[in-house]
A and B are shown apart, each in its own frame.
Chain A
């Protein structure tokens, strides 16, 4: 019945710059920032009416490279399973956009970018940003692409928060929203994990108050932060299934080396992460998540015409289902057309990247109905 899903071929990153002085972007902090460059990729074709555009928003460590392959790369983009011809976000029908967030380090302006006033990296002179600031920057990109209304904004984890922020900030520019494995506000537990990660970075002597771009980088600190992160992305059960108490060698070493596979995995993940992620970006982006709070009526202050598909995962203890149900509660109070599904997964928070089949079943048909209009008989 379904089309055979295919991969997108080679893709290229593009760049959009705006906010040249004196038209800098006004931030929640009261400061202004500009010029701002956003790295982005697009897949599929924008239709003549510009009504088939879907914005994909990434999580903490994601980037603009959501699908397809970069020249010479072995691995595809981070959500390649979901984006492509015949997939959940069908590039045969839809025009898919993904941009690296403001404050990031994968082509968009962030603390590792050059400050035009000093010709040196911003470091801690970069202003503290919020999820709303990220979304404001994305709005400039969407305007630049000539899109008045996005068919859908979709993302998991921090991406889900940006989805909610899009609805709160620009309800008239969004036709539908798919927040996955996220929350209306960061809970004390979520803030606590972020703070431990930040403290790990800042405790690394190489961090040097954020001024490390010309010397040694705070790789140990950032790797530890990432290791903690990975623990929170898995579930007790998924760790048991993946590692159990398996040893890397035959017997215990009776030294503080990596005896267990789980230790090796975390170290590998941590060491890989520092190759592609900037420690200061980690501080800024986690801070933005911690400031996020659209609880109560802040999500939908007045009546809106946006359809919702809210997805959570049963074993996700970092963004537990009750937080998605809080979103649903606000939608019910406001009489918003919405669907909610808790997918029975054992993968923990990582499930939003892994439960492709279930997510596809939901998202594909939800988008189809959104695109073809509200009349169910069609």
Chain B
């Protein structure tokens, strides 16, 4: 695998079995899908709202639909994909319930990666400086953030319990490596594998 790939991409590539059918919601410039196709021979499809990012995907030879996440899933038949990925895009989703239900209808499993709002750095900024947190995984200021959702690892676990989603695997990410100690405090990002 490419040494340059970021930690979350390496972990997701590790999770996905070879030859899987994968849909990436908010696939950006397609780097993750490209990696999955190359390393795991996955059959990949992206959905992306940015026109420029769509061009970049096509330049990599990827298939991608120019669409928002909220309306991108409805037409797919049940279980069209082995995995549906929402990596760093859940925070920008408006209709969370609809998208999560649709994700687990269209995909057998979902891989959800998001920034942990309860990371110690965020807590420090809130507690001592009294400011909306800006961390390595949440780099935006309050007025320029694309995020509309701010959640912690514990929040997402609670959500899965309420929705009846089965958590198959959770990976906690630090700056360079995975973390295992008090993840809701020390993990910058988390990647969940869930199933309905």
Contact = CB atoms under 8 A, between A and B. Distances in A.
A335 B80 contact: yes
Contact of A376 (B55, B59, B61, B65): B61
Contact of B61 (A333, A335, A368): A368
A338 interface: yes
Contacts of B58: 309, 339, 341, 361-362, 365-366
Given A325-B67, A343-B51, 15 more contacts: A328-B75, A333-B76, A339-B54, A339-B58, A339-B64, A340-B65, A340-B66, A341-B55, A341-B58, A341-B66, A342-B51, A365-B59, A369-B61, A376-B38, A376-B44
A298 interface: no
Nearest to A326: B75
A339 B75 contact: no
Interface string A329-362: 1001101011111111000000000000010011
Those 8 A-B pairs whose CB atoms lie nearest each other, nearest first: A376-B37, A369-B61, A332-B75, A329-B75, A341-B66, A377-B38, A340-B65, A339-B63
5 contacts: A333-B75, A340-B67, A341-B55, A366-B58, A376-B34
Interface string B160-187: 0000000000000000000000000000
B38 A342 contact: no
A154 to B, nearest CB: 15
A188 B59 CA distance: 37
B139 interface: no
A362 B58 CA distance: 6
A341 B54 contact: yes
A362 B37 CA distance: 20
Interface residues of A, number: 25
A368 B58 CA distance: 10
A328 B65 CA distance: 8
Contacts of A325: 67
Contacts of B34: 376
B77 A333 contact: yes
Contacts of B76: 332-333
A328 to B, nearest CB: 6
Contacts of B193: none
Nearest to A307: B63
Nearest to B71: A325
B190 interface: no
Nearest to B37: A376
Contacts of B55: 341, 358, 361-362
B26 to A, nearest CB: 15
Contacts of B63: 307, 337-339
Nearest to A366: B58
Contacts of A340: 64-67
Nearest to A369: B61
Contacts of B67: 325, 340
B66 A342 contact: yes
B62 interface: yes
Contacts of B64: 339-341
Interface in A364-378: 365-366, 368-369, 376-377
A192 to B, nearest CB: 28
Interface in A232-247: none
A337 B61 CA distance: 12
Nearest to B21: A335
Interface string B35-78: 00110000011000001001101111111111100000001110
A124 to B, nearest CB: 43
A241 to B, nearest CB: 21
Contacts of B44: 376
B126 to A, nearest CB: 39
A68 to B, nearest CB: 27
A303 B62 CA distance: 21
A361 B66 CA distance: 15
Nearest to A337: B63
Contacts of B54: 339, 341
A354 B55 CA distance: 18
A198 to B, nearest CB: 35
B41 to A, nearest CB: 8
Nearest to B57: A339
B193 to A, nearest CB: 23
Nearest to A333: B75
